[in-house]
Amino acid sequence: MHRRISASRTGRPRSVEADAAILAATRAALVELGWSGLTLGNVALRAGVAKTTLYRRWAGKNELVVDAVAALFDELELPDRGTLAEDIEGVVLQFAAILDRPEARTALMAVVAESTDDAALRERISSSIVDRQKRLVVEGRARAQARGQLPAESDPETAARGTDLIFDVIAGAVVHRCLVSAKPVDTDWARDFTRLLLNGLTAPPPT
């Protein structure tokens, strides 16, 4: 006969407030201590929770840092500026502002390096950051299609491939500009990039 597992055996439900405090403490530790100095013990102390609380939620430091920076990217919103070009410019500037935060820079550079030989960590980066932020592309395309600024797509597979490509182009360009080239993403750069994205290399320069 199978025994029923009582509620006390299934573990306590996760606290949204505790999770938010832990992720905020992780970002603060990244700014103050850097990647190499950050430990789960330090984060637990800052968040005012037991270290075992962290281990029940995250397998280790890498996963914790991914989720801490993913929460920053969840703040991204697609502005409604009236045109597809201006919407893209707005989200590019928001994205760059997040990458300009020291905790985001430190976390992304570190976890990407750590994920080189860690398939599970790459998958967590993909599911927690990349896949969640593709919502902006889906939302932006749907809005532009409703305005008549983009043609509608009836094939879901083609639409999904397009979403992946658009995200890769935008995110790749902004991340490279901010973290690799270490140059600013200002209004002029965002406008030039958007023009290139929408019109391609053969479009004439703006007059």
Q: Which residue has the higher pLDDT, 5 or 45?
A: 45
Predicted local distance difference test score (pLDDT) of residue 18: 86
CATH fold of 7-60 reads Arc Repressor Mutant, subunit A (1.10.10)
Q: Read off the pLDDT of each residue in 42-49 and give the average, rounded to a whole number.
A: 94
Q: What is the pLDDT of residues 126-161, one digit of tens each?
A: 999 999 999 999 999 999 999 999 998 889 999 999
Residues 44/50, Cβ–Cβ less than 8 Å: yes
Predicted local distance difference test score (pLDDT) of residue 5: 36
Three-class SS of the chain:
CCCCCCHHHCCCCCCHHHHHHHHHHHHHHHHHHHHHHCCHHHHHHHHCCCHHHHHHHCCCHHHHHHHHHHHHHCCCCCCCCCCHHHHHHHHHHHHHHHHCCHHHHHHHHHHHHHHHHCHHHHHHHHHHHHHHHHHHHHHHHHHHHHHCCCCCCCCHHHHHHHHHHHHHHHHHHHHHHHHHCCCCCCHHHHHHHHHHHHHCCCCCCCC
pLDDT value at 201 more than 90: no
CATH 1.20.1250.20 fits 69-199, yes or no: no
Q: What is the pLDDT of residues 85-99, one digit of tens each?
A: 999 999 999 999 999
Predicted local distance difference test score (pLDDT) of residue 6: 36
Mean pLDDT lowest for which of 10-14, 152-156, 181-185? 10-14
Domain spans in the chain, listed from the N-terminal domain onward? 7-60, 69-199
Mean pLDDT lowest for which of 2-16, 95-109, 111-125? 2-16
Q: How many CB atoms lie within 10 A of CB 146?
A: 10
Predicted local distance difference test score (pLDDT) of residue 8: 36
Q: Read off the pLDDT of each residue in 17-46 and give the average, rounded to a whole number.
A: 92
Band of residue 206 on the pLDDT scale cut at 50, 70, 90: low
Q: Which residue has the higher pLDDT, 112 or 10?
A: 112
Residues 81/55, Cβ–Cβ less than 8 Å: no
Express as a percent the part of the chain with pLDDT over 90.
76
Alpha-carbon separation of residue 152 from 77, 79, 147, 197 (angstroms): 22, 21, 11, 18
Predicted local distance difference test score (pLDDT) of residue 76: 93
- pTM of the entire structure? 0.84
Band of residue 115 on the pLDDT scale cut at 50, 70, 90: very high
Band of residue 59 on the pLDDT scale cut at 50, 70, 90: confident
| Tokens 């789960």 sit on residue | 40
Q: Which of 86, 30, 21, 31 is nearest to 61 (CA)?
A: 30
Contacts of 194 (CB under 8 A, 6+ apart): 85, 88, 89, 92
> CA 131 to CA 115: how far, in whole Å?
17
Predicted local distance difference test score (pLDDT) of residue 17: 85
Residues 129/104, Cβ–Cβ less than 8 Å: no
Predicted local distance difference test score (pLDDT) of residue 207: 64
> CA 29 to CA 51: how far, in whole Å?
15
